[in-house]
Structure 1
């Protein structure tokens, strides 16, 4: 009870009303800093009515505002009648770091953020979804595979799904002309000479969780540097008899592409919705 009251007090103290959206700052022992979070409610939100929930995760080098800078998130909340939560993932890759005790993002997400959202809003627990772009696409699929009982389904757009040191060094130099991506991942995952980065890939995760057979959606633009890795996931999912939806469409690794691709995810989520009293 004390924990709940602490959550609610902190929630009320730091909430800024922006029409139907709210900005939170969530304290946590799992990270070395508080986490900014944007929450978008439908304009007609009724606390007595169960509402579906979507978590939207941002990409590497961006922050919790990336999605609101890419699409009209409030309009999406209104159109689909869903609460949309956009947390800051920093450069965590949404992982619990094996070597950094102050970078335990997955613990923050499920032990701090999830309870806070459920304590603060009337969430339809049968219809909780998650998606993200690039690094966020990785986080979304990782969380769905490892916590399938919490989510209805998930999506990834332009997902950075296969952390390989040599390939990510190439990506880093193409986008930032330096090794910032691999340097950050070295801090999160570990020295690539001592830790297998490939073991953190979505492909390896699916193979480890052989019992996982839940459907999800993912996509990538054909001009995206991550396209080849994305098609590899499709091949592996097919071989494991996982009923995925893969959209291959024109586009690159940029805002123009994501502003369109995420629309497909919300349509997919809407079609996947279950009656509130249904079982998976």
Structure 2
């Protein structure tokens, strides 16, 4: 499984600046019959929280070997980005999910998906000044958390307005039977079998594999803005899995944003700016930019005339891809 032990050693990031208020980070603890033990959840609330309308909520899922504390590595940069107007104020929650893959285990012994969807989200919406509407509910994560965020969003597209997955720990296959050494060296059977069964239940694995979900039913994702990010130097070869998913989405006509980050690895100082880029994508879903303005429409119309003259079909821009609807 992908490890995120390098997060605390990230390079120094921008501070909010002299005289600028910082957001607040605190930890709450939840108990659930669905998962063993207490679940720590780190909460980030931005400057000015609680002084106005309910804010958007984002679940930000940590990677393998991580915990709720991983969120702390990014909060100074998030503060600075909010002050600079790069992203709108939002509340972020990171639950500590151990090495669960954010899954309901095949044998029912741990049910992390059920916990997140039926207990964590309702609790956050009831106890925090956040919107309960889908259009203001987001999910994302890094590595194992990127995988978890894609799975949860793809299985519950009516619950989230967008998903932003950074270096998601996904395999470049549609069936576990087809995985090779580039996957098994970091996700061996001893990690997979407690979750998917021993031997691995291939149908259960496929039903929870983001690429297989997208391949089998791409129509369910048409109204879900998707952001994919991975470094081209990823030490776990995760760029192979992310490229595989990108191609499935592209061929199916599912709008998404895909970034293969030149020179970036799985851990290290590239993660802070990449997280901010992902949050910028989320921000564009909250406050959609008007990128198709009158000048663009004029230029487009001139090309449309040429297309028609050649007998080509002409389609209007898809507003779901432009404005994150």
Q: TM above 0.5, one fold?
A: yes
Residue 222 of structure 1: aligned partner: 232
Alignment partner of 2:194 out of 180, 187, 206? 187
User: In structure 2, what is the Cα distance between the partners aligned to 1:115 and 1:77?
Assistant: 28
Q: State the Cα distance separating 1:118 from its structure 2 match.
A: 0.5
Does 2:56 correspond to 1:46?
Answer: no
Partner Cα distance (1:190, 1:264) in 2? 37
**1:131 equivalent in alignment to 2:140:** yes
Cα deviation, residue 50, structure 1: 1.5
| Compared CA separation, residues 55 and 73, structure 1 to 2 (3 A) | farther
Q: What is the aligned partner in structure 2 of residue 63 from structure 1?
A: 67
Matched residue count: 254
Unaligned runs of 5+ in 1: 1-17
- Work out the CA distance in 2 between the residues paired with 1:73 and 1:104: 33
Secondary structure at the aligned position of 1:46 is classed as: coil
For 1:30-179, what aligned pairs fall within 5 Å after superposition? 30-46=34-50, 48-69=52-73, 72=76, 75=79, 78-79=82-83, 80-99=88-107, 101-124=108-131, 125=133, 126-162=135-171, 164=176, 167=179, 170-171=182-183, 173=185
Matches of 1:29 and 1:46, distance apart in 2: 31
In structure 2, distance between residues paired with 1:73 and 1:64: 17
Moved more, 251-260 or 112-121: 251-260
Uncovered stretches (5+) of structure 2, i.e. residues with no partner: 1-21, 289-323
Q: CA 1:171/1:211 → structure 2, altered by over 3 Å: closer, same or farther?
A: closer
Q: Partner of 2:68: helix, strand, or coil?
A: coil
Is the contact between residue 77 and residue 83 of structure 1 (CA under 8 Å) also seen in structure 2? no
Structure 2 SS opposite 1:36? strand
Q: How far apart are 1:256 and its partner, in Å?
A: 2.2
1:19 CA displacement: 6.8
For residue 256 of structure 1, the aligned residue among 269, 285, 297 is 269
CA offset digits 1:67-92 (Å, max 9, x no partner): 32355366268543110101111111
Q: Is the 8 A contact 1:40 1:77 kept in 2?
A: no
* Deviation at residue 243 of structure 1 after TM alignment: 0.3
Tell me which protein shows more strand as a share of its residues: 1
Q: How does 1:191-206 map to 2 (within 5 A)?
A: 191-196=198-203, 197-206=205-214
In the TM superposition, what is the alpha-carbon distance from 1:107 to its structure 2 partner?
0.6
Check whether the contact 2:218–2:254 (CA below 8 A) recurs between aligned residues: no
Cα displacement string for residues 103-138 of structure 1 (whole angstroms, at most 9, x for unaligned residues) = 100110011111110011121222111110111001
What's the CA shift string for 1:233-259, capped at 9, x where partnerless?
111001111001000112111132322
Is residue 2:278 matched to residue 1:265? yes
Name the stretch that deviates more: 220-229 or 76-85.
76-85
Computing the radius of gyration from Cα coordinates, the structure with the larger value is: 2
Q: Is the 8 A contact 2:218 2:249 kept in 1?
A: no
Structure 1, 141-150 or 226-235: larger mean CA deviation: 141-150
Q: TM-score, normalised by structure 2?
A: 0.71
Instruction: Give 2:249's aligned residue.
Output: 237
